[in-house]
Amino acid sequence: MSNNLGIPTRAENYSEWYNELVQKADLADYSAVRGCMVIKPHGYALWENMQRALDDMFKATGHVNAYFPLFIPKSFFEKEAEHVEGFAKECAVVTHHRLKANPDGPGLIPDPDAKLEEPLIVRPTSETIIWNTYAKWIQSYRDLPILINQWANVVRWEMRTRLFLRTAEFLWQEGHTAHATYDEAETESLTILECYRKFAEDWMGVPVLVGLKSEGEKFAGADHTYCIEALTQDRRAIQAGTSHHLGQGFAKAFDCKFQSAEGKLEYVYATSWGVSTRLIGALVMAHSDDKGLILPPKLAPLHVVIVPMGRDEETRARTFGVADDLASQLQAHGLKVKVDKRDKESPGAKYNYWEMRGIPVRIEVGPRDLDANVAVIARRDTGDKETVALDSVVARAVELQGIIQSDIYQKALAFREANTVRVDTWDEFTAAFDGDGGGGFVVAHWDGTTETEDAISAATKATIRCIPLVPLAPSDAEPGVCVFTGKPSAQRVVFAKAY
């Protein structure tokens, strides 16, 4: 380790930096169960704030929450041909409903007499169980639309896992909506996509590309998939949310028809959409630095930490009193505040502790500062310190929340812009992805075929992240020739190596 914080720097080892930071910042921990994580209180408080903001957006756009079963009968996956390919492979399979004492030794074994007639799958995603239910609920156009979301855990048996980015179990929300027409489902998909963009940019402070997935990258069972894609500091893409127009595929698989206003029986149109605890990984990767986590104030579980100093009782009584008073005033402004009164930690150790955990603003209250009627305010994002008159400390600490929220977004945006390139030849393309880490976003022409996409991916590990809904530059929308095949291309698309 190159510093005494217990994590390597990003330059030393980006991957280890991430792994160690997530644990040291008290976001998550490994568990005894392969691929499953423990989300620690600080990480969970962040997730709760994310949930609240997203849930408010969903409700403001007419959605309600519900809850569907954890288990899905195996046969349900067999109904939708593409979906089964994508989701019924690496999954947790429940085969028994009882343990019994092992007759041949110590311990417990699955009871052979309690074998399930049909295995159950722990949901990797809930389209099948939900559409099985919707088929019961929907008879007429008057039952439509259904605009339901659920907050749930899901399991996908990943072979290589990383905390938050790819875990066997993760937490997410999954929206599942039912509509009378293709156009209404399309509007829904795009409404949610805009919620996701807004959440990523305005709340997380993470700029995202908004686009359509290629056929090769779309959701198994979807008509088409929209996504938001962020860029990490090691210049890789990270898919941060997806919104799928499912067409009538699931309605057909589960025989879900409705009687239209004209009296005709028609299949229902569907969407589904989700974001997960992966967002926490994207957040860490976007903003954090070698000292630890950097949190956007709008999602931070704690906005201000106050460190009062003093070696003797009398001094401490004085600085603690001022700290408590500042805390009350800040709380009255709606901020979450902690006064760190631990008596066995040095101020420096406290600074490191709270910097690692990403608290946006620190206020230092020392006896000499008080003699001068000032306090010191430190910003977590820039490390800047300023000495502020005591009667302006509260206003400044409040003001800084908005400034930090905006500045970390602008910084990430500038980073993305500096790491987005346009290339026109295969040599330029491969050069962009040559070397460690990612190569940023590479905007290039592609002939539109899955074959070419696969060949490019095999050669460079880069994949098409999205076909932007709005061209990143006006000229991106002009036709050209594919970097790989030289065949005609309608527009540029965005390539990157991805997490």
- The contact set with a copy of itself (CB under 8 A) reads 29, 31-33, 36-41, 43-45, 47-48, 64-78, 84, 88-100, 106-108, 110, 119-122, 129, 132-133, 136, 148, 152-153, 155, 157, 169, 171
List Cβ neighbours of 118 (8 Å cut-off, separation of 6 or more). Answer: 73, 74, 75
Q: How far is the CB of 35 from a copy of itself (least distance, A)?
A: 9
Using DSSP bridges, classify how beta strands 361-365 and 374-379 pair: parallel, antiparallel or unpaired. antiparallel
**110 φ, ψ to 5°?**
-60, 130
Closer residue to a copy of itself in complex, CB, 107/435: 107
Q: How far is the CB of 107 from a copy of itself (least distance, A)?
A: 5
Report the 10 Å Cβ neighbour count for 411.
17
Beta strands in 103-145 (DSSP E): 108-110, 115-122
Beta strands in 292-354 (DSSP E): 304-308, 337-339
Closer residue to a copy of itself in complex, CB, 153/329: 153
Q: How far is the CB of 497 from a copy of itself (least distance, A)?
A: 27
Residues 301, 304, 310, 315, CA torsion sign: negative
Nearest to 30 by CA among 43, 12, 11: 43
Alpha carbon 499 to its chain's center: 12
Burial of 249 (0-12, 13-18, 19+ CB in 10 A): buried
Q: How far is the CB of 279 from a copy of itself (least distance, A)?
A: 15
Closer residue to a copy of itself in complex, CB, 6/486: 6
3-state DSSP call for residue 232? coil
Closer residue to a copy of itself in complex, CB, 130/228: 130
**363 φ, ψ to 5°?**
-115, 125
Which conformational region is residue 5 in: left (phi greater than 0), alpha (psi within -120 to 50 degrees), or beta? Answer: alpha
Closer residue to a copy of itself in complex, CB, 88/472: 88
Q: How far is the CB of 132 from a copy of itself (least distance, A)?
A: 5
Closer residue to a copy of itself in complex, CB, 87/495: 87
Closer residue to a copy of itself in complex, CB, 128/232: 128
Residues 158, 163, 165, 168, CA torsion sign: positive
Q: How far is the CB of 464 from a copy of itself (least distance, A)?
A: 28
Q: How far is the CB of 173 from a copy of itself (least distance, A)?
A: 13
Q: How far is the CB of 96 from a copy of itself (least distance, A)?
A: 4
Closer residue to a copy of itself in complex, CB, 140/410: 140
DSSP symbol at 268: P
Report the 10 Å Cβ neighbour count for 138.
22
Q: How far is the CB of 452 from a copy of itself (least distance, A)?
A: 29
Q: Using only the alpha carbons of the chain, give its radius of gyration.
A: 26
CA distance 162 to 414: 27
Q: How far is the CB of 334 from a copy of itself (least distance, A)?
A: 16
3-state DSSP call for residue 233? coil
Closer residue to a copy of itself in complex, CB, 142/385: 142
Closer residue to a copy of itself in complex, CB, 74/278: 74
Q: What torsion do the CA atoms of 162, 163, 169, 173 make, to the nearest 10 degrees?
A: -120
